[in-house]
Chain A
């Protein structure tokens, strides 16, 4: 397993958002975190790469408590893409090169653009001029530039048109087929959960209420009205 969450809880002010969450992820492939809106999925995802800290419990990354790992090092290995595009100032090329540049490394921008289904002509385009679908693909390319072992995708298709949704889903399938990477995919859409596949957990009101394969998770999600 790559990650193991043990009895993890998280509060936001007075409200408890996650309650005693425990699960383990596989080494690679897709791990789904599904649940209705407001169930605590995004909060849970932010704990994987220490953008937030749990109030209780332990999170292990490859057997080590993540509190003992330098946050910057952990984040380079555990990339994240948010629901909506978050382009840094500059061109697509500068965005994709941002992570490797922090380490003084170069990056194959053209190769990464091709990998996410974008033309190399996009390299010189200002990142904030991309459409939402193009920008989300650039976000994935930017995260992949650091060659992470885990990629966290927080409902990455929620702001996209159907064609772009399919493009991102195909990209996810290609990534797990070609690379030894674990993709943690957050979704509240039953049909998408079925299309993406893999295994995962269903959370509701901050608790893990079910764990199984994607089809069963989608059935359960439908049942609780997600």
Chain B
């Protein structure tokens, strides 16, 4: 606990700097520090508890709970459109089942909690972030370019065809950071799993192998989830009369 207290001094320095320089981040930093402490200690105890339990069912339940929280987070951040929660959840679950299922089926990772939970948590967290980028981009561009979308509708296009170019742009915006992550891995930054393995005493080669698996898994899951999302999204931007469901200007991203 002393270690944590000492490391919190660094956040305190950031809070002091923010106050002195009038950056307006004092409250956010304080809330962030307290939330991360409470959430990580709580999840530590939950995972410690699950590690004691026999059977994969409990691990799956934990991942389902994580996916629900991730979907709720996306729903809160990308406000204004009905159905964001459900399409985010379906997209995350589809990507997770396919990637984790594939890796488990071929014995790349095993189903012990020590592997299954961290791997599941990583793909859910990364997928949630990419989904938020895609949703924010698609919704804000559809709103900004309403006349272009409605022009396409007025030319007899289906809703999916009318927003095709915006969907493409949103998918690219959400996947490019992941593709860049692959390109710069090990050059500009040492990724988390690699660092974790090194700290835990593994050899650098073993750490690198695991990190490669993690990155491929994340990019695979994010890609599948974003494709599912892009398939489902037009149903929620238009009503049954093929009319855009929103017309009023509104801030999308609630931070």
Q: Which of A13, A51, A52, A73 contacts B154 (CB 8 A)?
A: A51
Contact B156 A103 (CB under 8 A): yes
Is A211 interfacial (CB 8 A cutoff)?
Answer: no
Contacts of B153 in A (CB 8 A): 51, 71, 75
Contact A71 B151 (CB under 8 A): no
Q: A13-B248, A87-B148, A88-B148 are in contact. Are A146 and B155 (CB under 8 A)?
A: yes
Contact A79 B243 (CB under 8 A): no
Q: Which of A64-92 contact B (CB under 8 A)?
A: 71-73, 75-76, 78-80, 82, 84, 86-89
Contacts of A142 in B (CB 8 A): 151, 155
Q: Which of B145, B150, B155, B243 contacts A98 (CB 8 A)?
A: B155
CA A78 to CA B135, docked complex, whole Å: 32
Is B172 interfacial (CB 8 A cutoff)?
Answer: no
Across the A-B interface, how many residue pairs have beta carbons closer than 8 Å?
Answer: 70
Is B35 interfacial (CB 8 A cutoff)?
Answer: no
CA A13 to CA B250, docked complex, whole Å: 13
Is B241 interfacial (CB 8 A cutoff)?
Answer: yes
Q: In whole Å, how far is B8's beta carbon from the nearest beta carbon of chain A?
A: 46
CA A12 to CA B248, docked complex, whole Å: 9
Number of interface residues of A (CB under 8 A): 29
Q: A51-B150, A86-B148, A87-B148 are in contact. Are A102 and B243 (CB under 8 A)?
A: no
Contact B154 A80 (CB under 8 A): yes
With CB as the reference atom, state the residue of chain B lying closest to A81: B151
Q: In whole Å, how far is A124's beta carbon from the nearest beta carbon of chain B?
A: 19
Contacts of A78 in B (CB 8 A): 154
Contact A98 B147 (CB under 8 A): no
Q: Sort chain B's interface into a size bin.
A: 20 to 34
Mask: chain B, 198-241; 1 = CB below 8 Å from A; 0 = not: 00000000000000000000000000000000000000000001
Contact A80 B248 (CB under 8 A): no
Is A6 interfacial (CB 8 A cutoff)?
Answer: no
CA A71 to CA B151, docked complex, whole Å: 13
Stretch at the interface among B26-34, B97-105, B157-165: B157-165
Q: Which of B151, B156, B165 contacts A139 (CB 8 A)?
A: B151
Contact A76 B243 (CB under 8 A): no
Contacts of B156 in A (CB 8 A): 72-73, 75-76, 99, 102-103, 146
Contact B157 A53 (CB under 8 A): no
CA A50 to CA B148, docked complex, whole Å: 16
Question: 5 extra interchain contacts, Cβ-Cβ under 8 A, other than A75-B154, A76-B155, A82-B151?
Answer: A72-B156, A75-B153, A98-B152, A142-B151, A142-B155
- Give the 10 A-B CB pairs with smallest separation, nearest first: A99-B155, A86-B147, A76-B156, A86-B151, A86-B148, A80-B154, A71-B242, A102-B156, A82-B147, A75-B154
**Footprint of B on A, CB under 8 Å?**
12-13, 49-53, 71-73, 75-76, 78-80, 82, 84, 86-89, 98-99, 102-103, 139, 142-143, 146
In the assembled complex, 20 residue pairs joining A and B whose CB atoms fall closer than 8 Å, in A order, are A13-B248, A51-B153, A51-B244, A52-B243, A71-B243, A72-B158, A75-B153, A75-B154, A75-B155, A80-B151, A80-B154, A82-B147, A82-B150, A88-B148, A98-B157, A99-B157, A102-B155, A102-B157, A103-B156, A139-B151
